Structure 1
Amino acid sequence: LDQGVGALVWSPLGWGRLTGKIRRGEPWPEGSRLHDTAAFGPPVDEEKLYDVVEVLDAIAQESGKTVPQIAINWLLRRPTVSSVIIGARNEEQLRQNLGAAGWSLTPEEVARLDAASATTAPYPYFPYYRQEGFARINPPVV
């Protein structure tokens, strides 16, 4: 952020994990690309993923938006995200993803999603004796 560099985010729905189709305690849906691709992506803390999906789902139900729209809108609000590269398989998914633009989550909704997704920065970004968290290396914009 302090260098004015933005990120172009590829797969903003986490290889399909943030579509609302992946749920705690349920098998991946038939036809999900995750059956073939999950091993090739970065490791995912599934409990943290489900915590985030549950908040995405609640906000989607409250707002009338879809889970993917909430997820992409949330990501686009990050100060270092310049844009996203979506990977829609069909026109319906493309239209749904494009519906993430033109509106904004409320500050309260963003706070709920930020709290659900908060993680501790990995080594070497934290002293081994005191985990300070992601906020230290990615401070909020003032």
Structure 2
Amino acid sequence: MESRRLGRSGLRVSALGLGTMTWGRDTDDLDAADQLRDFVAAGGTLVDTSGSYGGGDAERVLGGLLAGTVPRDELVLSTKVGLVRDRGGVRTDASRRAVLDGLDASLRRLGTDHVDLLVVQAPDPGTALEETVGALRHAVASGRARYVGLSNHPAWAAAYAAGLLAADDTVLAAVEVEYSLVRRTAEHEVVPAALALGQGVVAWSPLGRGVLTGKYRAGVPADSRAASSHLAGFVEEYFDARSVAVVEAVATAAAGLGREPLEVALAWLLARAGVGSVLVGARTPTQLRASLGAADLRLPAELYDALDDVSSPCADDAESWEPLAPAR
């Protein structure tokens, strides 16, 4: 699998990253171990998790695997902070206390003394960005994180944070954002800003929350996310007519290449400008193996362009939008 620099930072990550959102909940310890082994065997290094996944269970499962399944130094560990659970439910909190306490809790669950990438998971309107950035700077200075990033933040926040960090020679290495053939709004501002500032784009939900696998073309499978009580709403957003047209185009392209639709969707995204890594999360080892097959796929130029056209954001998605040139 290709190894890529994350933006202009010195951090190198695998083109495909392993997402762990289902670990400890829908994916048990044995299946998680198989996923991690298969991922590393395929050349993968970046493993993405969060203290909010399963209330910390995903990190506990991963930490257990680091104790014997895969050596810690073979992985690039990324975790996220900034979402906390209290009596009122889950809320954003990117205060200095929440960021540093969350990081320490993650390190305990992971059984390591540092993460390679620490990411603030969501904007916190109740905390000044300067305070959040100060906490990230301290995490790096204390050795608990090697690099830092922001997830789901607007482009202006990433630019401002990068400027604040640069004053102390700290690098904002990554911006994590939802990005796929059915969700290209990141191209309006986030991706261009990342390219200009030297930040690597880490794409989450690259399969459009599962719809780009093609499994919903004939209905909702009983074992799918859309049939799950806690994930149905997450998927149904992409059951609209525009997304359906994109899925059909991907399926047609895949049939012509003799590949799976998810491989085509991932290959398209891997060739986009600025993309450092694409996070693939799977409930089962079989699902993950199917995604790993995209690592060696390069789409013909005419097919790439056709998918680019059919998935182009509608005019009402933004006041102005110019398509990005592919990295291919």
Please, what TM-score do these two structures have when normalized by structure 2?
0.37
CA change 1:3–1:104 in 2 (3 A) is same
Residue of structure 2 equivalent to 1:15: 209
Pick closer, same or farther for the CA change 1:108–1:89 going to 2, 3 Å: same
> Partners in 1 of 2:289 and 2:250 — Cα distance?
19
Mapped pair 1:44 → 2:229: no
Moved more, 104-113 or 35-44: 35-44
Deviations 1:22-81 (A, max 9, x none): 22xx43222111233132469436111111111111111110110010111111111121
Name the residue aligned to 2:220. Answer: 28
SS of 1:8's partner is strand
CA offsets 1:88-120 (integer angstroms, 9 cap, x no match): 121211111000012300111111111111113
Q: Secondary structure at the match of 2:213?
A: coil
Question: Partners of 1:6 and 1:20 in 2: how far apart?
Answer: 29
SS of 1:96 mapped into structure 2: helix
Distance in 1 separating the partners of 2:209 and 2:313: 20
- Among all aligned residue pairs of Structure 1 and Structure 2, give the percentage whose two residues are the same amino acid: 37
One-letter amino acid of the structure 2 residue matched with residue 100 of structure 1: A
In the alignment, does 2:259 pair up with 1:74? no
Q: 2:259 aligns with which of 41, 52, 65?
A: 65
Query: Which of 102, 105, 113 is matched with 2:307 structurally?
Result: 113
Question: Aligned-pair distance for 1:85?
Answer: 1.3
> What amino acid maps onto 1:80 in structure 2?
G
How far the C-alpha of 1:121 sits from its partner, in A, is: 5.7
Q: Which amino acid aligns with 1:72?
A: L
Check 1:45–1:121 CA distance in 2 against 1; reply closer, same or farther (3 A cut): farther
Larger Rg: 2
Asked whether 1:92 is paired with 2:286, we answer: yes
Give the Cα–Cα distance (whole angstroms) in 1 for the partners of residues 307 and 272 of structure 2. Answer: 12
Distance 1:42 1:31 in 2: 15
Secondary structure (helix, strand or coil) at the match of 2:281 reads coil
Q: Higher strand proportion, which one? A: 2
Distance 1:102 1:40, change over 3 A: closer
Say if 1:20 and 1:53, in contact at 8 Å, map to a contact too: yes
- Report the 3-state secondary structure (helix = DSSP H, G, I; strand = E; otherwise coil) of the residue aligned with 1:54: helix
**Unpaired segments ≥5 residues, structure 1:** 127-131
Structure 2: segments with no counterpart, 5+ residues: 1-194
Please give the TM-score of this superposition, normalised by the length of structure 1.
0.80
